């Protein structure tokens, strides 16, 4: 076993992996690239070569638009002509029934800022004369779409990455990933062990399996795509073509070959990359019906490939664990977005902040509906479907309004710890509903004097409920010389009413101001956590006070807050 | 196809975050598109998040068919005093 | 007299302070009266009718200033923070009832009082300090002339750090008819000029600290009803969604889109600068966070700050109406300037709506050449943000031309011979919903007992949001009944309980009644609540009739009865006269708008008021 060490290890030598490796090294990172077979041997090398923004689900459109901007300078940047032509994408409509849904879908894409339009049949023939007029009702047309040579694209990225010092280990199938104490990971293959600070999984059809090994069940299903190419023909087709409600795509490559094919999701044969006679025949008959003069062209070769799909037609680009990133599930159209994903993914790895354009690709968007069958919304198919499509759940938070975002308890929750009150002062509006609830619960009236919880107002935009947090050490109990306080096995401290003489020693000792002298009873009062169902938390409208198993560090933080804000007596 | 403009207001702007406050978004839509279709299939905004829909400043039914030049605006539940 | 042991919900005590004689007395609250008119607005209006001859001069020692809470004020149920200030209104001569939230109202209850009646006039500036049973009239000394925030700080130092303070700013001291009463630093019981009466009494402030409890008749049932209401409010997209996130100003773009956003003194109904002054823009620029009144989950208050530039400042707001009055109505689209003007209004303690409307009226008079630059001191054009802010300061200080502005737009327009430029009814300026578009609002403005205002019957709820059910704004049919019952009467009921009107988007009378009964032990049923609202409305109406108002005052300005010049609703206009007769009939009033003897009997008001009606 050979041991390697690097800043980052990228697993997967496809477009996403190579682009990410290249971008990481552009920022001076030391990168190792692991590939189970050869560069571009997966979905990238087997792709259709389309570089389109149109006919995508809404969430991908902004990323695709940005990627196309990147493509325009890519031949120069990579130092290799990637045969990129921006000749437009036509998504053909063959049936009158599809005309209106397509128009609706075009409007949808326009509303996301994409330059895409509806062309009537005659106008389609005008720009693509090889199509048979009688077959074409119309098409969606996005003039800035186009196609490129995927092999040249990935070669460009790989060469640049290598020039920047990326070390590549081919034929290296990852069989385990271990987390190290320093926050990094060790990736192991049969022959190598690579230790790195960050790990990026751009593993295409192998992602599901690999992620399961490290405990993440991602909703990815591999789909098979089958393609073929003809012998070189004279110039016939300029654009990239797709067909509404069909998987057929086609384009003419730079050297004249017509590259066409389609995809099928067949869960039975997930790992099979062979082509099938039935599918090929279907594709051939379909393309010859649409394009004239193809009947006599000879096929040179056919091939198949796998790419994982997600339930909503968009990839998962996310951080699985600290410094473990994944980018997969491109659903058969990742070639166009690969370069921009590589760009942002590298940015994320380097500065640790998720770039805003990747915000919509979290894996947790599938939480709760993994088991349901789901029609991708935001697509022609959805517009075609008559039944309602399921939409993601309503967000509780209001974007751009900080106090409308529920508090994040990840830092303080601790399953082993006892239940305590946790204050999130940023959520507190100063309404005193906690006081009211506490008072009604303990005194059956809305009292002002026997308050076990009390909101204070250190400034006009910062409010804080103060109460006992049942902290350790138990200052109040220690200070009490009349044995008027007791602590149960949960650590909850209660006042023994008939022993309390109201000497106030505990009031003075309490670091949070959580013990109060109640004039009406001449004893002290304090929070008793309402026997496990605190009234204040039930009435608090904003989750500023919650009752949870909290790390004792929360109590320390709360005490610090009180120290900072309540040094002097604060009025309410 | 007919030209219309759409305004998304308050929290609904999250569905087209590039839109400025009160900005009109021009869209070309198929003839005979209803307000409901516009919302569901073109804008893809969950109907339950929309409380007030206006066409040319007038609160309209969801089955209203949009015509050339219509100015559509959507609001989540809001109120004032 | 401390809290009476047999009263639940109520504290059972009226505190009366005579500033002329210095007499401080306590009276038991007549609980049969409470059953009839509840508390807050209803109770105070009833008391006022019995205290004075409605024909008196508003700024006279005979006009008492009544602070009243409702049985739910301070009870801790959601949004139970409200108190009202009732008197004969200095601005309008009608009955005044200005309403405010914050923490002052509940504190008055905790001190043991449902109602505070201030009579007479002090020769020198004073403030009142109420600490439970201890009540003192203290010299105001250096407080006179101070802004409310400074007043509060100083009074808390002198009294109790947790005291709650209601005070007047320089506006009230200088008897500006636009002045309100400021509590909790920034909140105003704003309209009708109640602050001028407080200033006339030389009463700078009232500070309260209480340590008593609001006792509940059936705490368990009360808590159940409270949690039920809490759930309804926190599940409501308006109350707990948009009010909390965006505040009331989220309406700016909506009302403007409808072409119902009065602009440049109602010369137009659409404002080109709406987006710049919208609730969304507010969030992006000046909003710091939200905050809440007592026991309120809604938390619509905006804590805001203009951090740089000529309009730098910090405070609360602006709300929808303020954004509109100081913005669109004056043609101003600079949100920083509008926010600053709003802060200044709080500091001077003057009503943002009437202040903005008065400046807008002056702007129109200036642009039409009636007012000269020499007279004002500077050009006062529509859209001039700096001039608008300057005019607010002058108004607050009664400095120069501000001396005229401080008396409101009715008197301004009269003075310069152009009464048609006053945009209001019964001398009170209209609010931010064009009556040309909202026919229900037109009827409400004209018939509201305190003059043209939106919160006595906010029919926009039905005419736009569809609460309780949608009635298109332009429709005339059935608007009379809509204005009367689910809005005017209902609001009178809500205002009398101490709960905030903003809960009404999520709840109905039923939920409020479900709280009132276990809180007080009195049978407050849904059916009775309807009757109580009607009774309170008629009490107010009779006050106005005795004060000399007639059917001829239930009108709107000519301008809004003319077609709207532009916008999506061009051509629409207020068609008030068609509705008025039907409205009177439904109310049980004669054709002159006077309650009939039968109506009074029905409401149980015949014995104590036999003068009105036919």
Whether C450 and C546 map to the same domain: the answer is: yes
Element (H, E) at A446: strand A445-446
Minimal Cβ distance to B41: which of A113, A382, A394: A382
- Taking the Cβ of residue A113 and every Cβ of chain B, the question of whether any pair is shorter than 8 Å is answered with yes
Average pLDDT, chain A: 89
On whether residue C471 sits in a domain, the answer given is: yes
For residue A478, pLDDT beyond 90: yes
Closest chain A residue to the Cα of C520, Cα to Cα:
A445
Query: Looking at the 3D structure of chain C, how many domains does it have?
Result: 3
Report the candidate in C99, A100, C21, A42 with the shortest Cα–Cα distance to residue B33.
A100
Contact B59 C275 (CB under 8 A): no
User: Per the domain annotation, does C214 fall within a domain?
Assistant: no
Q: Domain with C290 in it: what CATH number?
A: 1.10.569.10
Inter-chain Cβ pairs, chain B and chain C, closer than 8 A: 97
CB of A523 less than 8 A from some CB of B: no
Q: Is B3 on the interface with A (CB under 8 A)?
A: no
At residue C613 the predicted structure's pLDDT band, cuts being 50, 70 and 90, is very low
Q: What is the pLDDT of residues A422-449, one digit of tens each?
A: 999 999 999 999 999 999 999 999 988 8
- Cβ-based contacts of C238 with chain B (< 8 Å): 77-79
Kindly state whether residues C455 and C425 are assigned to the same domain: no
pLDDT at A96: 86
Chain C residues lying within 8 Å of B21, measured CB to CB:
253, 275-276, 278, 280-281, 284
Question: Out of A429, A441, A572, whose CB is closest to C162?
Answer: A572
Residues from chain A that touch B33, judged by Cβ atoms under 8 A, are 104, 107
Q: How far is A16 from chain B (nearest CA, A)?
A: 26
- pLDDT band at A274, cuts 50/70/90? confident
B78 touches chain C (CB under 8 A): yes
Which residues from chain B sit within 8 angstroms of residue A113, using beta carbons? 18
Quick one: CATH architecture of A419-565? 2-Layer Sandwich (3.30)
Please state, for a pLDDT cut of 90, what percent of chain A lies above it. 71
pLDDT at A391 exceeding the cut of 60: no
Bridge partners, residue C380, by sequence? none
Whether residue C611 has pLDDT greater than 60: no
Local confidence band at A388 (pLDDT 50, 70, 90 cut-offs): very low
What is the mean pLDDT of the segment spanning A335-351? 97
Chain B residues closer than 8 Å to A65 by CB: none
Specify whether C141 is located in the same domain as C54: yes
Please tell me the predicted confidence (pLDDT) of residue A273: 74
- Regarding whether C188 and C75 lie in a shared domain, the answer is yes
In this complex, which of B11, B21, B56 lies closest to C278 when CB atoms are compared? B21
Q: Answer yes or no: do C398 and C487 share one domain.
A: no
Query: pLDDT value at position A376?
Result: 45
Domain-located, residue B80: no
Q: How large is the ipTM?
A: 0.93
Asked if A378's CB is within 8 angstroms of B14's CB, the reply is no
Question: Residue A177's pLDDT is what?
Answer: 93
| In-domain check, residue C607 | no
Do C53 and C155 lie in one domain? The reply is: yes
Give domain status of residue C6, yes or no. Answer: no
pLDDT digits (tens, 9 = 90+) for C464-491: 998 889 999 999 999 999 999 999 999 9
Q: What is the nearest CA distance from B69 to chain A, expressed in angstroms?
A: 15
Is B47 part of a structural domain of the chain? yes
Measured distance CA(C379)–CA(C394) in Å, rounded: 14
- Of B14, B18, B41, which to mutate for an interface test with A (greatest number of A Cβ within 10 Å)? B41
Whose tokens are 């109120």? That residue is: B79
The range of the structural domain enclosing residue B67 comes to 2-75
Question: Do residues C3 and C212 make contact, with C-beta atoms less than 8 angstroms apart?
Answer: yes
The 10s digit of each residue's pLDDT in A147-197 is: 999 999 999 999 999 999 999 999 999 999 999 988 899 999 999 999 999
Which among C216, C223, C299 has the least Cβ separation from residue A431? C299
Residue range C3-23: average pLDDT?
Answer: 90
Question: Does a structural domain hold residue C398?
Answer: yes
- Find chains touching chain A: ≥3 CB pairs under 8 Å: B, C
B33 touches chain A (CB under 8 A): yes
Per-residue pLDDT at C356? 98
Q: Is the per-residue pLDDT at A472 higher than 90?
A: no
Tell me which of A43-52, A302-311, C4-13 is least confident.
C4-13
Task: Give the confidence band of C253 by pLDDT, cuts at 50, 70, 90.
Answer: very high
- 3-class secondary structure, B31: coil
Question: Which residues of chain C neighbour A446 with C-beta distances below 8 Å?
Answer: 74-76, 213-214, 216
Does pLDDT of A379 surpass 70? no
**Contact check, Cβ <8 Å, C227/A538:** yes
Q: Which residue has the tokens 């047309």?
A: A141
Phi and psi at residue C203, to the nearest 5°: -100, 105
Is the distance from CB of A349 to CB of A198 less than 8 angstroms? Answer: yes
The answer, yes or no, to whether residue A227 has pLDDT greater than 50, is: yes
pLDDT at A393: 26
Residue C132 belongs to some domain of the structure: yes
Q: Which residues of A touch B65 (CB under 8 A)?
A: none
A445: tokens are 């009236």
Boundary (domain end) residue, out of C368, C397, C429: C429
* Percentage of the residues of chain A whose pLDDT score is greater than 70: 91
Tokens of A466: 């103060």
Same domain, C421 and C452: no
Tell me the nearest-neighbour CA distance from B36 into chain C, angstroms. 18
Q: Of chain A residues 386-405, which have a CB less than 8 A from chain B?
A: 388, 391, 394-395, 398-399
Determine, for residues B48 and A394 on separate chains, whether the beta-carbon distance falls below 8 Å: yes
DSSP states of C270-312 as a string? Answer: --TTTGGGSHHHHHHHTEEEEE--TT-SS--EEEEEE-SSTT-
Instruction: Looking at the complex, report in whole angstroms how far the Cα of residue C491 sits from the nearest Cα belonging to chain A.
Output: 23
> pLDDT at position A371, please?
42
pLDDT at residue A386 above 80? Answer: no
- pLDDT tens digits for C575-589? 998 899 999 999 999
Same domain, residue pair C254 and C386: yes
- Residue that has been written with the tokens 């051509």 in this structure: C571
Ramachandran area for residue C555 (φ above 0: left; ψ -120 to 50: alpha; else beta): beta
Mean pLDDT of chain C: 95
Give the H/E segment covering residue A32. strand A31-34
Chain B residue with Cα closest to C259: B57
Query: Quick check: is C520 in a domain?
Result: no
Please indicate, yes or no, whether residues C363 and C468 belong to a single structural domain of this protein. no
My answer on whether C357 and C255 are in the same domain is yes
Q: Does the CB of B47 have a partner CB in chain C at under 8 Å?
A: no
Q: Is the pLDDT of residue C523 over 80?
A: yes
pLDDT, residue A367, reads 80
Cβ distance B16 to A112 less than 8 Å, yes or no, reads: yes
Mutate to test the interface with A, among B42, B48, B65, B68 (most CBs of A within 10 A): B42
Number of A to C CB contacts under 8 A, please give it.
101
CA C197 – CA A117 distance, rounded (Å)? 67
Let me know: does A315 contact A308? Beta carbons within 8 Å.
no
> What is the percent of chain C where pLDDT is above 70?
98
* A2-358 is a CATH 3.40.50.1000 domain: no
User: What average pLDDT does this structure show over B26-39?
Assistant: 94
pLDDT band at A406 (very low <50, low <70, confident <90, very high): confident
| Mean pLDDT, range C56-79, rounded to an integer | 97
**What is the structure's pLDDT at A410?**
83
Check if the beta carbon of residue C458 is closer than 8 Å to that of residue C491: yes
A 360-379 residues with CB < 8 A to B: 377-378
| Confidence class for position C3, pLDDT limits 50, 70, 90 | low
Q: What stretches of A27-95 show up as alpha helix (H) in DSSP?
A: 61-71, 74-78
Give the closest-approach CA distance of C3 to chain A in angstroms: 13
Examine residue B69 and state whether it is found in any structural domain, yes or no. Answer: yes
Does residue C434 sit within a domain? Answer: no
Q: What are the structural domain ranges in chain A? A: 2-358, 419-565
The domain total for chain B is 1
When pLDDT is cut at 50, 70 and 90, the band that residue C554 belongs to is: very high
Q: Which domain holds residue C169?
A: 13-209
Say which residues have a Cβ less than 8 Å from residue A364's Cβ, sequence separation at least 6.
Answer: none
Q: What share of chain A is helix, strand, coil (3-state, %, to 5)?
A: 30, 25, 45
Which of C156, C183, C209 marks a domain boundary?
Answer: C209
Q: What is the pLDDT of residue C4?
A: 58
């Amino acid at each position: 076993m050979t041991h390697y060490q690097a800043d980052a290890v990228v697993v997967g030598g496809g477009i996403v992996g190579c682009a990410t490796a290249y971008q990481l090294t552009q920022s001076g990172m030391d990168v190792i690239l692991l590939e189970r077979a050869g560069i571009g041997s997966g979905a990238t090398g087997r792709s259709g070569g389309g570089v389109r923004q149109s006919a995508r689900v809404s969430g991908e459109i902004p990323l695709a638009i940005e990627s196309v901007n990147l493509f325009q300078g890519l031949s120069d940047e990579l130092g290799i002509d990637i045969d990129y032509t921006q000749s437009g994408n036509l998504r053909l409509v063959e049936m009158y029934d599809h005309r209106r849904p397509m128009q609706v879908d075009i409007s949808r894409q326009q509303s996301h800022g994409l330059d895409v339009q509806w062309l009537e049949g005659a106008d389609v023939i005008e720009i693509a004369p090889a199509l048979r007029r009688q077959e074409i009702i119309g098409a969606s047309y996005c003039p800035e779409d186009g196609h490129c040579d995927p092999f040249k694209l990935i070669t460009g990225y790989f060469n640049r990455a290598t020039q920047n010092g990326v070390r590549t280990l081919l034929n290296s199938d990852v069989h385990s990933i271990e987390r190290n104490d320093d926050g990094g990971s060790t990736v192991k293959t049969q022959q190598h062990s690579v230790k790195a600070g960050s790990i990026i999984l751009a593993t295409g059809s192998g992602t599901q399996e690999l992620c399961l090994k490290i405990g993440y069940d991602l909703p990815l299903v591999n789909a098979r795509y089958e393609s073929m190419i003809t012998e070189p023909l004279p110039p016939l087709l300029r654009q990239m073509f797709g067909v509404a409600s069909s998987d057929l795509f086609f384009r003419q490559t730079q050297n004249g070959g017509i590259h066409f094919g389609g995809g099928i999701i067949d869960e039975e044969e997930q790992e099979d990359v062979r082509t099938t006679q039935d599918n090929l025949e279907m594709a051939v008959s379909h393309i010859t019906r649409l394009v004239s003069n193809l009947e006599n062209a000879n096929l040179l070769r056919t091939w198949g490939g796998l790419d994982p799909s997600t339930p909503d037609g968009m990839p998962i680009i996310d951080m699985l664990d600290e410094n473990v990133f994944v980018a997969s599930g491109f659903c058969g159209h990742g070639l166009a977005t690969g370069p921009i994903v590589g760009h942002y993914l590298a940015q994320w790895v380097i500065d640790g902040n998720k770039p805003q354009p990747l915000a919509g690709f979290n894996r947790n968007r599938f939480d709760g509906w993994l088991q349901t069958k789901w029609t991708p919304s935001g697509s022609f198919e959805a517009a075609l479907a008559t039944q309602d499509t399921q939409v993601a759940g309503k967000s509780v938070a209001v974007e751009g309004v900080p106090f409308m975002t529920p508090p994040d308890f990840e830092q303080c929750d601790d399953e082993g710890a006892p239940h305590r009150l946790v204050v999130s002062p940023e959520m507190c509006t100063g309404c005193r509903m906690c006081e009211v609830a506490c008072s009604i619960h303990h005194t059956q009236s809305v009292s002002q004097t026997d308050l076990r919880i009390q909101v204070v107002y250190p400034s006009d935009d910062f409010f804080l409920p103060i109460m006992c947090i049942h902290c350790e050490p138990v200052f109040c109990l220690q200070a009490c010389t009349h044995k008027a306080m007791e602590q149960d096995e949960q650590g909850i401290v209660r006042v023994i009413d008939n022993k309390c003489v109201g000497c106030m020693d505990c009031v003075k000792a309490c670091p949070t101001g959580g013990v109060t002298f109640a004039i009406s009873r001449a004893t002290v009062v304090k929070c008793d956590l309402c026997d496990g169902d605190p009234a204040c938390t039930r009435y608090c409208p904003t989750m500023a006070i919650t009752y949870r198993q909290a790390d004792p560090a929360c109590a320390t933080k709360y005490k610090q807050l009180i120290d900072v804000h309540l040094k002097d007596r604060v009025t309410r | 196809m007919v030209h219309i403009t759409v305004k998304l207001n308050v929290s609904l702007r999250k569905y087209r975050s590039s839109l400025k406050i009160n900005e009109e978004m021009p869209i070309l839509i198929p003839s005979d598109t209803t307000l409901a279709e516009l919302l569901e299939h073109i804008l893809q905004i969950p109907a339950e998040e929309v409380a007030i829909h206006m066409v040319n400043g007038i609160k309209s039914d969801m089955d209203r068919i949009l015509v050339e030049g219509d100015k559509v605006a959507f609001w989540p539940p809001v109120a004032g005093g | 007299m401390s809290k009476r042991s047999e009263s639940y919900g109520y504290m059972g005590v009226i505190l009366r302070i005579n500033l002329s004689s210095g007499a401080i007395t306590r009276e038991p609250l007549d609980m049969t009266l409470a059953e009839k008119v509840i508390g807050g607005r209803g109770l105070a209006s009833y008391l006022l009718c019995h205290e004075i001859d409605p024909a008196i001069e508003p700024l006279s020692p005979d006009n008492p200033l009544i602070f009243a809470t409702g049985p739910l004020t301070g009870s801790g149920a959601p949004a139970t923070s409200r108190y009202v200030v009732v008197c004969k209104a200095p601005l309008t001569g009608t009955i005044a009832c200005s309403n405010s939230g914050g923490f002052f109202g509940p504190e008055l209850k905790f001190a043991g009082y449902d109602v505070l009646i201030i009579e007479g006039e002090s020769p020198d500036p004073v403030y009142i300090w109420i600490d439970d049973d201890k009540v003192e009239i203290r010299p105001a000394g250096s407080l006179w002339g101070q802004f409310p925030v400074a007043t509060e700080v100083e009074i808390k130092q002198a009294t109790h750090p947790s005291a709650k303070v209601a005070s007047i700013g320089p506006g009230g001291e200088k008897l500006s008819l636009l002045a309100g009463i400021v509590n909790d630093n920034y909140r105003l019981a704003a309209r009708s000029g109640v602050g001028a009466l407080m200033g006339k009494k030389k009463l700078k402030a009232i500070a309260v600290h209480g340590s008593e409890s609001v006792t509940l008749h059936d705490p368990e049932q009360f808590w159940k009803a409270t949690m039920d209401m809490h759930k309804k409010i926190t599940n409501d997209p308006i109350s707990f969604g948009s009010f909390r996130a965006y505040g009331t100003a989220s309406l700016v773009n909506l009302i403007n889109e409808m072409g119902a956003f009065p602009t440049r003194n109602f010369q137009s109904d659409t404002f080109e600068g709406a987006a710049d002054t919208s609730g969304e823009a507010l969030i992006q620029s000046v909003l710091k966070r939200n905050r809440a009144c007592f026991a309120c989950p809604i938390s619509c208050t905006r804590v805001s700050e203009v951090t740089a530039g000529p309009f730098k400042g910090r405070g609360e707001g602006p709300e929808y109406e303020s954004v509109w009055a100081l913005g669109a109505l004056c043609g101003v689209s600079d949100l920083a300037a509008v926010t600053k003007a709003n802060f200044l209004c709080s500091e001077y303690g003057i009503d943002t709506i009437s202040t903005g409307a008065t400046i807008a009226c002056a702007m129109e008079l200036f642009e039409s050449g009636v007012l000269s630059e020499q007279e004002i001191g500077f050009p006062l054009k529509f859209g001039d943000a700096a001039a608008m802010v300057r005019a607010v300061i002058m108004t607050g200080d009664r400095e120069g031309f501000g001396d005229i502005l401080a008396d409101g737009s009715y008197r301004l327009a009269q003075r310069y011979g152009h009464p048609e430029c006053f945009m209001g009814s019964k001398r009170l300026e209209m609010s931010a919903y064009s009556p040309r578009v909202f026919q229900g609002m037109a009827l409400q403005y004209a018939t509201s007992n305190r003059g043209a205002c939106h919160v006595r019957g906010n029919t926009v709820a039905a005419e736009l949001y569809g609460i309780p059910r949608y009635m298109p704004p332009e429709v005339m049919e059935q608007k009379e009944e809509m204005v009367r019952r689910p809005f005017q009467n209902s609001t009178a009921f809500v205002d009398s309980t101490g709960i905030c009107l903003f809960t009404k988007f999520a709840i109905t009378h039923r939920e409020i009644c479900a709280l009132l009964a276990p809180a007080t032990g009195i049978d407050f049923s849904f059916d009775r609540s309807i009757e109580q609202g009607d009774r309170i409305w008629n009490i107010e109406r009779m006050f106005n009739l005795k004060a000399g108002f007639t059917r001829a005052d239930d009108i709107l300005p000519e301008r809004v009865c003319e077609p709207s010049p532009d916008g999506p609703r061009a051509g629409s206009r207020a068609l008030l006269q068609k509705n008025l007769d039907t409205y009177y009939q439904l109310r049980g009033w004669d054709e002159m708008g006077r309650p009939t003897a039968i109506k009074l009997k029905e409401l149980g008001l015949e014995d104590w008021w036999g003068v009105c009606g036919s």
